[in-house]
Structure 1
C-alpha cells in the first residue's frame, strides 16, 4: 500500500512498511514455483498455503495501519476488488481450461498477498549518492485503480504475448512457415515421451487441440510399453485385450526411464503376443475391438487424463505410429507461472505495463 505521513513512521529500515516487506516473501516462492513449473509442469500445493498465511497477516497489519485514516475506505475497496474480482478470475479461467490448477492457485494467492499497491523506498543516502537519478519510491508507474494483483495479472498477460513471437523467430530460420510456427516447434517423434506439451497434429492435419503428452505417458505406463515398441508394431498394440493394466501415474516426466514401464523393466504385453491362445481371444474380442481402437475408451473410463478424449488419444497415437514420421509439431505451452513471476517482478520494480501503455496512447 502507499505510505502516507501517518504510516511513514512505521517504515522498517526506511524501506517499506512492515506488511509490504512481509509481502516480498512472495518473490522467491513464486520464482521457485516458476522454476518447478518449467521443469516438471508440477507445483505442489504446499507452495501456496504459507503465502496465503503471509497475505492474511499482511492484510490484517495493513488494516490496523489505515484504520481511522482517510485512506481506509479506498483500501477496503481495493481489497474487495482483489478478493472479489481477481481471485475468482483464477478459478473461472481454470474451469474454462485456460489455466492449470497451479496457475489458478497462484492467481488466487497473489490476490490475497497483493490486494493494494505496495510502496518501497530507496534510502535517502542511496538517492543522494546516485545524484537523484533514480526514483525514490517503487513501483514508479501505478494504475489509478490501485489493485496490485490486477497489475500483476495484466503484466503477466502482456509479457506472455511475446511468447508466440519468440517461437516464430525460432522456427523461421528452419523454413517452417505454418500456422504452428507461432504456437509450437518440431520435435523428433522418439523424443516426445520426454517432452511436455500438446501435439499440434492429427491424421487430418493441424489442430490446436491435439493429444496432451502427459496423457500419452499415462497411457503408455497403463499398458506397460514404451512408444518405441508401439511404433515398431502398431497393429499389435492397436487392439488390446481387456486385461488388468498398470498404474498410469500422473503423466510427469521422471529421471528413471524404467518408470515408464511396469516393475522397472520393459514389459512384454503377453496378452497381445501372437499365438494360438491369442488367436482364440482375438476371435472372442473381435466384436468389441473395432469400438475401442487402442483401448482408448477403456483407459479413459478408468483414469482421468487431463481432459483427454478417446478421439484425441486415438488420433495422437495414429500420428505418432506413422512409419515415415520423423518429427511432429508440439506446442510446449507456456508455463503460466513463469510470466506471472516476471509480471510480479516488473510490477514491483516498475509498475503497471498496461496503464503505462494506455497513458502513452493518451487513453488513461
Structure 2
C-alpha cells in the first residue's frame, strides 16, 4: 500500500525481509521436509506490527484509503486466507508448516505494497482485490499445478513412461533411506498412495536395522518373533534425525539354515503379523503419518526385492509459496494478470 504517489512506504520496505526468509525455508523444505515453528514467530510479530502501522497511516489518510486500500484487503487477507490455510491443514491438504506460512503471509501482506524502481512500478499486474496474500496463495496454487507437467516432461524425455510419471520418478533402492516422499509401488503394481518414506525410516530405526539388512535377511525379519524386546526410539522419520543404534538388532545366523530349507522347498511361512507391522504401529508414541499395517508390509515386500522403485517426492508446498511470493511482488497475479 502506498499513501503518497510512487514513494515506497516504510512498512512495505520492512516486508521484504520475508523474501530471503521464505527462500531459506523453501530450501529447507526440499532438503529435510522439516521447518521449525520458531521461524514463524518473529515473522508473525513483524506482520502484526506492520498491520497496525498500516492501519494507523490509512486511518489518518481517511476516506478511500482507509476503506478500499486497507480495510477491505485486510479483511480478505485475515478473513479468507487465514481460515482457508487452517481448514486445509485440518483436512490434511497442507502440512503444519504450510498452514503457518500462509497465516504469516496473511499478516505480512494483507494489503497491496507498491515498489518504485526507476521508471518501473512493481508489481506490474496488481490484483484488483488489493490483498497480496490472496495473490500469493493463488500464484502458489498455479505453480503447484504446473509442477506435475514439468515432471511428466522430464520423465518422458528420459524414456520413463508409466502411469505415475506425472507424480514421481524411479530411484535405486539404496537411495530410499535418504529420500523424501512416498513409495509408488506395491507387490501388485504401481499405486498413487504407497508407503510414506518417513514412516519407513521410523520402522527401521525402531527395529535398529538398515534397509540393506532387511533386504539381506528378509525371510528372517518377516517373522514377527524377531522383533526387538527393547525397540529403539523411532524418531520422526527425518533423514537428519539422530539415531540410536543400540538394542533391537537380532542374530539371524542360527535361522539361516531353516530359511534356506524353506526357500529350497519354495515354502513361504505364514505369519499373523508379517514384519511386525501392527506391533510397530501399536508401540510407537503417535502416528507414523497415517500409515496402515498393510501399507508398511507391502512397501517392505517391494523394497526387499526391487532394484529400482518409483517414488513420489511430493511437492513441498513452501516451494510454490516462495515462487508465488516472488511472482506476486514482481509481476502480480498470474490468473488475473494473464486474463486481463
When residues 204 and 83 of structure 1 are mapped into structure 2, their CA distance, relative to the original with a 3 A threshold, is same
- Tell whether 2:58 aligns with 1:66: yes
Deviation at 1:61, TM superposition (A): 0.3
- Tell whether 2:315 aligns with 1:321: no
Q: Deviations over 1:53-98 (max 9, x none)?
A: 1100100000111105112122222212211211121121122222
Question: Normalising to structure 1: TM-score of the pair?
Answer: 0.83
Output the aligned Cα RMSD: 2.1
1:198 paired residue among 178, 182, 190 = 182
1:21 aligned partner? 13
Is the contact made by 1:225 and 1:260 (CA closer than 8 Å) also made in structure 2? no
1:250 aligned partner? 236
Deviation at 1:267, TM superposition (A): 6.6
Whole-angstrom distance in 1 between the partners of 2:53 and 2:205: 50
Deviation at 1:302, TM superposition (A): 2.7
Deviation at 1:103, TM superposition (A): 0.9
1:283 aligned partner? none
Whole-angstrom distance in 1 between the partners of 2:42 and 2:86: 19
Alignment of 1:341-356 (within 5 A): 341-356=322-337
Question: Any stretches of 5+ residues in structure 1 without a counterpart?
Answer: 9-13, 128-134, 279-288, 360-364
Whole-angstrom distance in 2 between the partners of 1:261 and 1:232: 21
Whole-angstrom distance in 2 between the partners of 1:72 and 1:273: 77
2:262 aligned partner? none
Deviation at 1:47, TM superposition (A): 0.6
Deviation at 1:260, TM superposition (A): 5.3
Is the contact made by 1:225 and 1:261 (CA closer than 8 Å) also made in structure 2? no
Whole-angstrom distance in 2 between the partners of 1:273 and 1:223: 17
Is the contact made by 1:226 and 1:261 (CA closer than 8 Å) also made in structure 2? no
Question: Normalising to structure 2: TM-score of the pair?
Answer: 0.89
Deviation at 1:292, TM superposition (A): 2.0
Alignment of 1:200-279 (within 5 A): 200-241=184-225, 243-254=229-240, 262-263=245-246, 268-270=249-251, 274=254
Q: Deviations over 1:310-364 (max 9, x none)?
A: 1211111111112xx21110011111111111110110011011111232xxxxx
- Tell whether 2:295 aligns with 1:312: yes
Whole-angstrom distance in 1 between the partners of 2:253 and 2:134: 58
Whole-angstrom distance in 2 between the partners of 1:142 and 1:238: 59
Residue aligned with 1:335, SS:
coil
- Tell whether 2:272 aligns with 1:291: yes
1:282 aligned partner? none
Residue aligned with 1:291, SS:
coil
1:98 aligned partner? 93
Is the contact made by 2:149 and 2:166 (CA closer than 8 Å) also made in structure 1? yes
Whole-angstrom distance in 1 between the partners of 2:98 and 2:8: 28
Deviation at 1:268, TM superposition (A): 3.5
Whole-angstrom distance in 1 between the partners of 2:89 and 2:194: 19
Residue aligned with 2:101, SS:
helix
- Tell whether 2:39 aligns with 1:47: yes
Whole-angstrom distance in 2 between the partners of 1:247 and 1:160: 35
Deviation at 1:175, TM superposition (A): 2.2
